[in-house]
Structure 1
Amino acid sequence: MTARPPPPRVVAGWILRHPDTLSESGQLQPKAVRTHCPELDALTRHTRSFVAMLTGLQGERLPD
């Protein structure tokens, strides 16, 4: 029997939440999902990069 994938809302929460706010055990499941889904891994990396640009006031990093 295979494990059920997490609901989209849960995955979105993992992507949008700063990883430091998750407990150590709470970081394992998102890491496993990202390992098995390269698209979600890329989405997470792009989202976190964009958030860093916004919070760091680095708009010059945005491409034309």
Structure 2
Amino acid sequence: MKLDIFFVREKVIRKELNVSHVPAQDQWADVLTNPLSTARFLYLRDKLRVCDTLSLKGAVKIS
């Protein structure tokens, strides 16, 4: 863990990486890591452009 922190710190100091605050409502990774309400899950799933298989019913099947 320490190596990762120093790696990121070094990149920030060299201005090779810009770290900025992301508000809680914009944490898209929550859909993969946290229990969410159905509404919140669907909202974040849409932001990630992931869809359920039922919505693909009329889509072309790729083998």
**TM-score higher than 0.5:** no
Q: Which has the higher contact order (CA 8 A, sep 6+)?
A: 1
TM-score by length of 2: 0.30
